[in-house]
Structure 1
Amino acid sequence: MRKNYLTCAALISAMSMSTIASAPVFASDNNDVQTFKIGICNYVDDASLNQIVSNIEKQLEKIEKDSDGAVSFEVTTENCMADATVLDQIIANFIADDVDLMVGVATPVAMAMQAATEDNEIPVVFAAVSDPVSTGLVESMEEPGANITGTSDYLDTTAVMDLLFAADEEADHIALLYDQGQDSSTTAIEEAKKYLDDKGVDYTEYTGTTVDEVMLAADSIIADGADAVFTPSDNTIMTAELSIYEELAEAGIPHYAGADSFALNGAFCGYGVDYINLGVETANMINSILVDGEEPAKTPVMTFDNGIATINTEVCDQLGYDFDEISKTFEPLCTAVNGIETAEEFEEESESETETEEESTEAQEK
């Protein structure tokens, strides 16, 4: 487990007494500096979630810097690696350390934090929870109703399916690949099944809870002759993507999935939210709660435009598609079409690039 501490470089010369009086009572005040302890827990080591955590940390650093020494965040970042026992211990440690706020990245972490904080006043901010209402994290997207709120990477399943059939109008057998234990996949899979039922297209469900099981599922998909594969923003399949993409591509089967990180790791097309911006806005929400005193129960869950299609250019070539042509096919159905090459992790952006990204991206509050 690693710890990252974000600190201010300088102190402000003065702060009004009214400002001090309005500071949240759970922050420590030393020499007019509001210091907040934040515990972040990531669910698993994958490109999407790692990108979110990285951008939460970067944005908190930026908020510190912009405060001219008025605010200091002490951030501890952990990763439970999808182990429930480790997750419970991490949360227990956060509580013992008297953190002012917990951040749960992905649905299982958010749910565990929610359960652990029912009897205390520690607010929870979640990130990348696809369906916070159905999972019981919040009462509604507009008013969460408890000491928890956050950012959602809700997937527009219909849009992904529209891309799939725009690329192959003759597709008549679709594989649905996911982990039944991932709450983030439940709604999207049901939506996909309804879409395919309405269209009269056959589908088969393939599931796995480990990398080995997902690899076996991929073997079955190939043996069954599926025309394409659909996966939601499923963290289990995401961790296995680098292990299955080559055989799917060699079999001529395009994999469509609910995040650009899938395309980074070898899927043909990833469609979903900009996780850089999701991380930034999660940090901004943390700041609003801790520094500005906003109530999580009344802070709407933030959702985002998820109309970006990311195509793996190497897999695109291997499948026999021309990138320029498939981009033209997808463009009417997306807000943007990007190309990417296979890699394990996203490249780190420079500070100037991150600022440009922040200025150009809009988030919708619901």
Structure 2
Amino acid sequence: MKRTMNSSRMISRRNFLQAAALSAAALSAMALTGCGSSGSGTASSAAAGSGAASGGTTYKVGIVNYVDDASLNQIVASVEARLDEVGAERGVTFNYADYYSNAQADQSNLNQIGADLVADDVDVIVAVATPSASTMLAAVEDTDIPVIYSAVTDPVGAGFDTLTNMTGTSDALNTEAIMNMILAVNPGITEIGLLYDLGQDSSTQAIADAKAFCDENGISYVEKNGTTTAEVQMAVEALAASGVKVVFTPTDNTIMTAELAIYETMIESGIQHFTGADSFALNGAFIGYGVDYVQLGEATADMVVELLCDGKTIADMPYRTFDNGIATINTETCAALGLDLETVKAAIQPYCTSVEEIITAEEFE
């Protein structure tokens, strides 16, 4: 379900939609008579976004994905599926298809997307990941367009928790739990590698928590960083050269994007990669631990529905967090590292609500 979008499509989208709308209007004028407009007065096609009975209200829902990775794509798919489901139940249309964009981790793309969505006068913007949320917040300044974010790890640290036009869902990581898993699988460990992007807000608090945990437990740590896949690959090689056998990465989008390029090096170097989302494990990491991103996407979509259909305001909907209880083991990686699956499961079970198994793939089905 991987979704991509090149820059030319992103920048020219509004002009294309305007031309399509004019063409559709001309055809409708010739073919239909006595048809009153339905919905919120938008020019959106009732078919776009699907999930609605004809003649119902149409809401324009902008969805902004920060980058293609398994976690964020899974959230987008879950948001869309839930909006389709509710739209069909209520006889309304949530038109997200005409207003979806993927910034491909490019700030200039994010800025353009925000400007386009404001010009399109969407009813709400769903911003996936902290960089998307921050940019969309700036874009809607001096407008009445609300922003509902998803997968913002630290809403308080980002300053989102007290805003009157923004709320959403958080994928905050229980760092202590995953660090305890590391100790359970590796009793007596004395050194841990920390791999993350210094520029990712989603990593800031979790890395600080991991360092505090290490200090309290007499464990040293080696930090390596990267902002691109090539830099992350070099960081992993440096970690391998240092001799660490366990590496921790929180819900870091840069490392997630690079996981398919680094997991084999980790395995070859005998490194157990403990990470902050199941999508890392899907892409080859040893263990992913964190929220259920399907649940996160559904809850985000429900907030959109409450805002647009149920008369709720942002003030009525404080940001939501979830039980970080799911540990996902990549069974292929586990075997390649020479570890016994059942022993690993028994060791980590006390620190999670469930343990799931997965094999390496490029994307969630």
Q: How far did residue 298 of structure 1 move?
A: 3.1
Native 8 Å contact 1:172 1:227 kept in 2:
no
In the alignment, structure 2 segments of 5+ residues that lack a partner are 14-46
Aligned residue in 2 for 1:184: 202
1:162 aligned onto 2:185: no
Aligned residue in 2 for 1:74: 95
- 1:237-252 to 2 correspondences below 5 Å: 237-252=255-270
Pairs aligned (count): 320
Q: How far did residue 321 of structure 1 move?
A: 1.1
Aligned residue in 2 for 1:197: 215
In the alignment, structure 1 segments of 5+ residues that lack a partner are 12-30, 140-144, 348-366
- 1:285-364 to 2 correspondences below 5 Å: 285-347=303-365
1:123 aligned onto 2:146: yes
SS in structure 2 at match of 1:303: coil
SS in structure 2 at match of 1:302: coil
Q: How far did residue 227 of structure 1 move?
A: 2.3
Which of 46, 59, 62 is the aligned partner of 2:85? 62
Which of 44, 49, 53 is the aligned partner of 2:76? 53
Aligned residue in 2 for 1:147: 165
Native 8 Å contact 2:52 2:84 kept in 1:
no
Distance 2:315 2:338 in 1: 50
Aligned residue in 2 for 1:279: 297
Which AA in structure 1 matches 2:178?
A: V
Greater percentage in helix: 2
Which AA in structure 2 matches 1:288?
A: E
Distance 2:87 2:334 in 1: 42
Distance 1:174 1:234 in 2: 17
Q: Structure 1 length as normaliser, TM-score?
A: 0.85
Native 8 Å contact 1:171 1:227 kept in 2:
no
SS in structure 2 at match of 1:10: coil
Aligned residue in 2 for 1:133: 156
SS in structure 2 at match of 1:155: coil
Q: How far did residue 118 of structure 1 move?
A: 2.2
Distance 1:267 1:304 in 2: 22
Percent of counterpart pairs with the same letter?
53
* RMSD after superposition: 1.3
Q: Alpha-carbon deviations, 1:40-80, whole Å to 9, x = none?
A: 0100000000000001000000001111x2x1111121100
SS in structure 2 at match of 1:174: strand
Distance 1:5 1:306 in 2: 34
Which of 257, 263, 267 is the aligned partner of 2:275? 257
Native 8 Å contact 1:153 1:304 kept in 2:
yes
For residues 222 and 114 of structure 1, do their structure 2 counterparts lie closer, same or farther at Cα, with a shift above 3 Å needed?
same
Instruction: Give 4+ residue runs of structure 1 displaced > 4 Å after superposition.
Output: none
Aligned residue in 2 for 1:236: 254
Which AA in structure 1 matches 2:355?
A: V
Q: How far did residue 230 of structure 1 move?
A: 0.3
